[in-house]
Amino acid sequence: MPVQTSHRPAPLEPGAPGRVPPIVPAQPGPGGPGPGGAKKRAKRKDPLWARLTLIFGAVLMMASGAAIVGAKALIGQATSSIDQGNLLGDAGKTEAEGGKNLDGPIDMLLLGVDARERWAADNVRSDTIIILHIPASHDQAYLISIPRDTEAEIPGHGTDKINAAFYFGAQNGGGWEGGAQLMAKTIKQMTGIGFDGAAIINFGGFKSVIDALGTVRICVSHEVASKHMSLVDGKPMWNADAKKTGKPRTKVVHKKGCKEMEGWEALDYARQRYGLPGGDYDRQQNQQQLIKAMAKKATEKGVLTNPLKLNQLIKAAGKALILDTGGVPIADLIFTLKGVTGNDLVTLRTNGGTFATNANNRETLNELSQQMFRAVKDDTLADFVVSNPEVLSTRK
């Protein structure tokens, strides 16, 4: 199915008046550019389906490095294994904002839930809220986290912490779809950003995705003891389950430094906020780091050229995601994002990575963060980041 004609302004060519050439601002940490990192990058001569990465957290990992002849089969497999639903409601982009096409900038809402089977579908809050922005040039991707405790006006429910929007929307049979719809509506009302699509990511399900990749390289910036897991006989277990064994428990401690982590360890680290100097802001950056690490791993060392690993990865992604592409076929989305790689994911932070309060002593978005979201809406984020490098994540 062809992509519909764009209602958005045609994207400017790199170097055209009014547009800064696509860049990856210099940032610390593994995979960050070295000296001269702000230069325009030369395009690699990879196959058409190479370099498609983990844009929805995992879904686009399926295609990198695969031959064109097998592309349709891969897309079919991925589509059938991933639950799709209406996650946007009326928070999708209007015709005036671009409608259902992929010719201009693309904005996706990624919602992370930490659901376990014993929790009811209407008793979950989304503590991970990420806006994924892809400029009209379609050669970069930006991840911006919204703090879970940000004060927001939730339509029909008054003022509350923004993570409550998912909970309220899930009530009375709304389920996770209803939760995502109310969250998307709340964010659009707060930032003006309409969405092309959305994904609910079950972070518990990410373990199998990482295990299918093998490991991911994560850098721990501050030593922190896990609040959720212990080791029993060397085996990681939830604290509640570990207590039931009656055996001695060893605290899981994430020590400072970079290492290859298995799925359980990487996810446990990404869940931590207590004991970290920046609290939830540190957790946001750690979750962004995890997504980027997964994207990079998916496109290196032949992970996706091995049919067995690829099949495992597709199945794992299907268990971890609920996806809404805004009515656009997944195949069109993959074609559009064929130029984005794991190294093209730029992680940004709100409020300078620190707690900001309003007159009511509640968490809010400071003026610079509000300007950043306006830049997302106007598709001027690259220029904004160059002018305000302090919004770049400092996670190493």
324 has a pLDDT exceeding 50? yes
Q: What is the pLDDT of residues 137-192, one digit of tens each?
A: 888 889 898 988 899 999 999 999 998 999 999 999 898 899 999 999 999 999 99
Q: What is the DSSP string of 59-115?
A: GGGGSTT--GGGHHHHHHHHHHHSEE----GGGBPPTTTT-S--SS-EEEEEEEE--
Closest to 340 measured CA to CA, from 290, 267, 291, 378: 291
Distance CA 339, CA 356 (A): 36
Distance CA 328, CA 102 (A): 8
Domain-located, residue 267: no
Residues of the chain with pLDDT > 90, as a percent, come to 32
Residues 6+ away with beta carbon under 8 Å from 301: none
Is the Cβ–Cβ distance between 209 and 320 less than 8 Å?
yes
Q: What is the pLDDT of residues 302-318, one digit of tens each?
A: 666 666 776 677 677 77
CA angle 108, 112, 115 (to 5 degrees): 145
Domain-located, residue 248: no
Under the banding of pLDDT at 50, 70 and 90, the label for residue 44 is very low
Q: What is the CATH number of the domain that holds 136?
A: 3.30.420.590
Domain-located, residue 188: yes
Domain-located, residue 186: yes
Closest to 324 measured CA to CA, from 188, 177, 205: 177
Count: domains in the chain: 1
Distance CA 270, CA 264 (A): 10
List the beta bridge partners of residue 250.
231
Under the banding of pLDDT at 50, 70 and 90, the label for residue 225 is very high
Domain-located, residue 345: yes
Range of the domain at 131: 59-209+301-391
Predicted TM-score (pTM) of this structure: 0.73
Domain-located, residue 326: yes
Question: What pLDDT, on a 0 to 100 scale, did the predictor assign at position 193?
Answer: 95
Domain-located, residue 15: no
